[in-house]
């Protein structure tokens, strides 16, 4: 039971982490776009970072992706074994 929970949490954490990098640029305004460049920073630095928006959107999107993965693997039986084999098979030698 604990191992199943930890495996599910590990998959969710990986999905969450990848989704974070996809959500970070959404709604981002740079200092160059706002004409408010702080001395000593790059022009592409964000004007205002919204962590609540970023983390909540990341959690919501990754929960949907994880739910789709859970349904596909548990109810339809799709897993890594169902993927087509791309490389050569050396087990038949």
Please report which confidence band the pLDDT of residue 2 belongs to, taking 50, 70 and 90 as the band edges. Answer: confident
Task: Please report whether residue 65 resides in a domain.
Answer: yes
Angle at which helices 51-74 and 2-23 cross, to 10° = 130
pTM for this prediction: 0.74
46-65 exposure pattern, b = at least 16 Cβ within 10 A, e = fewer: beeeeeeebeebbeebbeeb
Task: Please report whether residue 81 resides in a domain.
Answer: no
Query: For residue 29, is pLDDT > 60?
Result: yes
pLDDT of residue 8: 87
Task: Please report whether residue 22 resides in a domain.
Answer: yes
Looking at the structure of the chain, the number of domains it has is 1
> What range does the domain containing 65 cover?
10-28+45-74
């Amino acid at each position: 039971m604990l191992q199943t929970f930890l495996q599910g949490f590990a998959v969710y954490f990986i999905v969450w982490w990848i989704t974070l990098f996809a959500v970070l640029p959404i709604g981002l305004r740079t200092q160059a776009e706002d004409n408010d460049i702080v001395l000593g920073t790059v022009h592409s630095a964000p004007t205002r970072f919204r962590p609540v928006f970023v983390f909540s959107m990341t959690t919501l999107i990754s929960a949907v992706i994880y739910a789709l993965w859970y349904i596909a693997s548990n109810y339809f039986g799709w897993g890594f074994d169902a993927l087509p084999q791309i490389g050569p098979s050396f087990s038949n030698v």
